[in-house]
A and B are shown apart, each in its own frame.
Chain A
Amino acid sequence: MTSRARVTTIVATLVLALVTSVAGCGVTRDADDATNRRLRMMIPNSPGGGYDLTGRAATKAMEDNDLTGRFEVTNVIGASGTVAMQRLLNERGADDVMMLMGLGVVGAVFTNKSRATVDKATPIAGMVAEAEGVLVPADSPYKTLDDLVDAWKKDPGGVTIGGGSSPGGPDHLFPMQLAQEIGVEPRQVNYIAYDGGGPLTTALLGSKIDAGMSGLGEFQGQIDNGSLRVLAVSGAERLEGIDAPTLEEAGVDMEFLNWRGVLAPPGISEATKKEFVDLLTEMHGTKEWKAALRRNGWIDNFQTGPEFEKFLDEQNRRVEQTLKELGLA
């Protein structure tokens, strides 16, 4: 099916190239014009989620600035990105497809015991990152991160930690790595997985759990009106509009970011890889992308080449190690 679709695409491209080169005599537009290019972007989760917003903002910025032709954006849903990762690896050598992914996908392929690990794909670029926050209800006895850490150390299993992702996702990895850092055995952490930010908010507002760890975008309303309190944020810098220290300021020497980036299938040519890297680099400079960063409160985490490869490799190992210790990988 895909190979047939690809043949059609190739034929279409050829015809287009022919037509433009014939019709375009004396015009500077040639067959290699980037705006004739048809690319596909795979999103490893459902519409409306973080991956989807990032992927669609990026493709829109590229299309609006005529950096390339049209993008066909598909949501490949299943097993927190494992299905999409598998499909990307199946597209070995395809020169027209990219996939948006991130920390959650790295973890999901391990917890799903999939062979389609992230290190088998071709790294293209790191895109954005989001800090996680440590949230407690307004009436919680924990006023500072220290209070929580003390209680956690005293009774590791007795402090319930909620998150909006299933095991292997960012909201699960963050408390595990935080526990490790402060000397709590990750296996003893009582992590309660909620199906996204909504149910987690409910649990926090009803004081059903002691603390929640999640990206803060979905909680802005509750933070602003004082029904939830942020004890710390996980990035290197404080977040705008949130009156909370970084982990380091609060006395824990670590940094944790939920990042998202772009991969291409394995076995693509150097030329294609360069084309993708250049394309995303150009995209990163557009004002549409800058607006998207601002609108969504994303931290700019743009990196390409060896820098991103090293980052990806590090993350992959770190996640694998954390999940292995928990017996989940």
Chain B
Amino acid sequence: MDLLLEGFATALTPENLLYAVIGVLLGTAVGVLPGIGPAMTVALLLPVTYNVSPTSGLILFAGIYYGGMYGGSTTSILLNTPGESSSVVTALEGNKMAKAGRAAQALATAAIGSFVAGTIGTILLVALAPNIADVVVKLGAPSYFAIMVLSLFTVTAVLGSSKLRGLISLALGLAIGLVGTSTGQQRLTFGSPQLADGIDVVVVAVAIFAIGEALWVAAHLRRRPLDIIPVGRPWMSRDDWGRSWKPWLRGTAYGFPFGALPAGGAEVPTFLSYITERRLTKKPEEFGKGAIEGVAGPEAANNASAAGTLVPLLAIGLPTTATAAVILVAMQNYGLQPGPQFMDAEPKLVWGLLASLFVANTLLLVLNLPLAPVWAKLLQIRRPYLYAGILFFASLGAYSVNFQAFDLGLLLCLGLLGLAMRRFGLPVLPLIIGVILGPRLEEQLTTALAISQGDLSTLWSEPVAVVVYVVMALMIVGLVVTGFRRRNKGVTDRIDDNYQEVSM
């Protein structure tokens, strides 16, 4: 505890506070722009490590990381244009809320949820960092494969009113996920090296969500007048709070362990959280039309995962995300080597960094909460101009990654797919989940089987994998039993099946 207080003393010096402010501002800015993420920003700022002290440098980078996780949600909610892969899911309900005049509430629940999750995550980080590390390396490809299969299995809960449409959407997503080079073989790249690394989920999401919607609106502009977005209340109501706090905690519970796992990441927990909230909500009819739980949960999950990522980084010097990998490079530039002795050898730096995470979280809340109603006014812009702005913004993001026209073409093609999906009433969530999970599922399976030389029994050779399969079997049994009972009772109105993407 003394160490943490000392840490605060380090983090709150004017100089370090300034770096934290710069960090969160910069992080929010890059989080907003699709294409440029915190990993690239930190990498481009690596040269500052030559001139800035280690503590300040790391505080800056941590601020960028947390800020990036937060900033992605703003454009997700307002413009349906996710800035980061981890805020793709936020757009689903967040943008619907914004269209219903509840943008301020969506932004507020995202900001407070991020703060709550980030703070709990950082506390867990402080408490667990020394012990958790040995556990995480025990999980191998078979365990991850099992977790991914379980995640894919949960998708069945969100296939929508038409299972066929849901499965088509999922298949489309898995097909997009197939593009790229796997085990040295190119698939669906049509000989183009630009496709060899696969298609980034942010590009897919921006195209399907933002471009698809802009085209859809444009196609209907003459036929019917556009609804005017009502001006909502600026702050969260008591009801909003009541509906948000549990999703925040559950989102944190998903996000933190996934962040700490070497192959976990921030995307999977966001959609697991979304699916959970959809199942548990008392107002299932609101899902698909702007349910606050669907924003609160995923936003908490992605910030908690950012905190989780720092556990293996600080404890055993193991980077689990691209951003963590670049932060590790920065540490090595300083001649620092995270690992078991790191916390003892450099207490001032480590605790200063941990304290600065609390500071960064608070700063993000203070900066963003008052801005929420201001941002919400953005939606008062007349629709044609608003959509023109969204198109410009989405194209800029796609182009800025690599400065090549190819990416713009790709964005447009996928945008047309988004338009077609709206036309035929295909839900988008299964597609996004397919893009995220498909390649991971395959990677873990090929790694597991390559190590075992094709022996399938390796898939249940790890205890975690066995537990996951048992859970899955229980879930299937549970589903069959409840389905059977319902049929007996003659209950036909299944809940949460009124999910329709074409709710415009």
A160 CA to B446 CA, complexed, in Å: 13
| A208 on the B face (CB < 8 A) | yes
Residue of B140, B141, B447 contacting most chain A CB atoms (<10 Å) = B447
Distance to closest chain A CB from B259 (angstroms): 13
Which chain B residues lie closer than 8 Å to A56 at the CB level?
Answer: 46-47
| A171 on the B face (CB < 8 A) | no
Which chain B residues lie closer than 8 Å to A168 at the CB level?
Answer: 184
Tell me the chain B residues, 312-332 only, with Cβ under 8 Å from chain A: 316-320, 322, 324-326, 328-329, 332
Structural contact, A205 and B137, CB atoms closer than 8 A: yes
| B500 on the A face (CB < 8 A) | no
Structural contact, A79 and B197, CB atoms closer than 8 A: yes
Structural contact, B338 and A166, CB atoms closer than 8 A: no
Tell me the chain A residues, 191-249 only, with Cβ under 8 Å from chain B: 192-194, 196-199, 201-203, 205-206, 208-209, 217-218, 220-222, 224-225, 227
From A160, A166, A225, give the contact of B450 (CB < 8 A): A160
A328 CA to B447 CA, complexed, in Å: 19
Determine, out of B36-44, B153-161, B348-356, B468-476, the stretch whose residues face the partner at the interface: B36-44
Structural contact, B137 and A206, CB atoms closer than 8 A: yes
Which chain B residues lie closer than 8 Å to A218 at the CB level?
Answer: 328
| A299 on the B face (CB < 8 A) | no
With A48-B46, A224-B337, A225-B341 given, is the CB distance from A208 to B316 under 8 Å? no
Distance to closest chain B CB from A186 (angstroms): 13
Question: How many positions in chain B have a CB within 8 Å of any CB in the partner chain?
Answer: 51
Chain B residue nearest to A49 in the complex (CB): B43
**Binary interface profile of B, 447-458, with partner A (CB < 8 Å = 1, else 0)?**
100110100000
Tell me the chain A residues, 55-95 only, with Cβ under 8 Å from chain B: 56, 60, 74, 76-80, 82-83, 86
| B139 on the A face (CB < 8 A) | yes
Structural contact, B186 and A202, CB atoms closer than 8 A: no
Structural contact, B317 and A199, CB atoms closer than 8 A: no
A160 CA to B453 CA, complexed, in Å: 9
Structural contact, B140 and A208, CB atoms closer than 8 A: yes
| B333 on the A face (CB < 8 A) | yes
**Binary interface profile of A, 12-51, with partner B (CB < 8 Å = 1, else 0)?**
0000000000000000000000000000000000111000
| A267 on the B face (CB < 8 A) | no
- 17 other A-B residue contacts (CB within 8 Å) besides A77-B197, A166-B181, A199-B262: A46-B40, A47-B326, A48-B43, A78-B196, A79-B181, A79-B193, A86-B193, A113-B191, A158-B453, A167-B184, A168-B184, A197-B319, A201-B317, A205-B137, A218-B328, A225-B339, A225-B340
Interface residue ranges, A against B (CB under 8 Å) = 1, 46-48, 52-53, 56, 60, 74, 76-80, 82-83, 86, 111-114, 157-158, 160, 166-168, 190, 192-194, 196-199, 201-203, 205-206, 208-209, 217-218, 220-222, 224-225, 227, 295, 328
Sample of 15 A–B contacts (CB below 8 Å):
A46-B322, A47-B40, A47-B326, A56-B46, A79-B196, A83-B196, A112-B181, A166-B181, A167-B183, A198-B324, A198-B325, A202-B136, A205-B318, A206-B139, A295-B333
